Amino acid sequence: MCSSGREEIRITDTILTLPNHDSVPSIVFTLSEGPQELPTQRSITPISVRSPAATSVASFTQANPRNRYFHSRRIKDPKEIQKPWLGKKDPREKWVTIIPLTGIVIGLGIAAFLVYNGISSVVNRKYCEVFVEDWSQGFREDIWTREVEVGGFGNGQFEFTTPYSENSFVGSDGMLHIRPTITETQLLENDNILDLTAEGLCTSNLKKNCVTRTSVANRTIINPVRSARIHTKTSASIRYGKVEVRAKLPEGKWLWPAIWMLPVNSTYGDWPRSGEIDIVESRGNRYSHKQGGNDIMSSALHWGPDAENSAWWKTNNKGGALHTTYAEKFHTFGLEWSENYLFTYVNSRLLLVLYVPFPKGGLYKSGGFPLTNSKGARIIDPWSQTGRRSTPFDQHFYLILNVAVGATNGWFEDGIDGKPWVDGSQSARKDFWDARQDWHPTWKNNGEMVVESVKMWQQC
């Protein structure tokens, strides 16, 4: 902005001498009146030059300084300046502050109560160690029992579970390996009979679980794969407590790994009247498998008055691996179980998979079971007489580790992922075997499940 009078400051006759390049010049100026071409024109005359080594200071003295504060030229009359803070306030304006602050305080109070209530409601139960297995003593046959059967364990599984160390062993890495292997070709391509009872190996009392055969004419074969199923029935069991198994699941088509529990005495009758606890089940197929591959695991409780009325679907849930698969690295699969609830988790109790609170009226009432079975016989409630809400999960259960291969019970649905057999076919095993060039190469690391440790605690 210009005005009628103009100030001009001019530096004249300045001589600067640098004694050496290690010093920095410092110039001190003073303002003096010079030739005045305009009324307010001045000039600057240097009065001294010095060169200290550190800092430079310039000192200016201006003649006739103007002691004038800044003011806006837009305001003509100072009385026009508005000062609302000096005016009388509306008493209702205070509520604009009070109401939000009150809401914040109430909200914080509610949040604090919920946090306190949640923490105080957590029951920190005391657990006593029952069993810890780190395999440092190798495969302990006094602890682990190998089941030897060919009957498919009620699921039409294709494996023959063996007592052989090639299928269940502690490796040089100090871990348990459950490894499926291919059955000898000559047993599958020629008429043969495998009688485990005659060999003194079968662990079942049922003939169908101990004897199998290959019939070329009928397209039936002996179990085409050998694997292992081991348990702690005679050595370690718990009634309410905790279980943790750290393991890496297998990768490969049609592999079915499981870590689960069955009752020691089947107090309430045959399966599923006495219950079953599946801590983890999975499929070795790739993640693209429609039912879920090795990136998905599931937990379930099986319970019901008879085999055709199992209510497992009411107590079943799946958990996905986070940015990985259960076959790529080790995970800790856990169970916590009390008289009031049961839940499973992966790696942390914060990562729940399945949570089942036992209802006050008992499981039978919540099952919604029919009055009669498919044969017209009346269904009897097998549990309510105990008066315990957790029945049939109120007895001792033992741990099972196994890798199954194939099945005809629907665990692998027909027509998915190039499944080479049909569940209802008599030749399902043979059809599976004939497609071995498709599935066997997918068994990474021999299709084995590797178990690092097993821990069991009893609620004290």
CB 147 within 8 A of CB 159: no
Tell me how far apart the alpha carbons of residues 273 and 271 are, in angstroms, rounded to a whole number.
Answer: 5
Asked about 336 being catalytic, the answer comes back as: no
With a CB cutoff of 8 Å and minimum separation 6, the contacts of 375 are none
Closest CA to 128 of 265, 240, 291: 240
Count helices and strands in the chain by DSSP H and E runs: 5, 23
Give the Cα separation of 407 and 153 in Å (integer): 10
Quick check: 168 and 177 in contact, CB under 8 A? yes
Which residues are CB-contacts of 295 (< 8 A; sequence separation ≥ 6)?
Answer: 287, 320, 321, 324, 325, 326
Give yes or no for a cis peptide into 272 (omega within 30° of 0): yes
CA 6 to mean position of chain CA atoms: 78
- Asked if 406 and 158 touch (Cβ cutoff 8 Å), the reply is yes
Per-residue tokens: 451? 């178990």
Residues 49 and 416: their CA atoms lie apart, in Å, by 95
The catalytic position among 133, 149, 244, 281 is 281
Question: Catalytic residue among 276, 336, 448, 452, which?
Answer: 276
User: Which residue's entry shows tokens 């052989």?
Assistant: 164
432 in helix, strand or coil? helix
Q: What are phi and psi of 300, to 5 degrees?
A: -160, 155
Query: Residue 246 — φ and ψ, nearest 5°?
Result: -100, 120
Q: For this structure, is 448 an active site residue?
A: no
Q: Residue 97 is inside which H or E element, if any?
A: helix 95-121
CB 403 within 8 A of CB 255: yes
Q: Which two tokens stand for residue 332?
A: 């800790």
Residues classed as catalytic: 276, 281
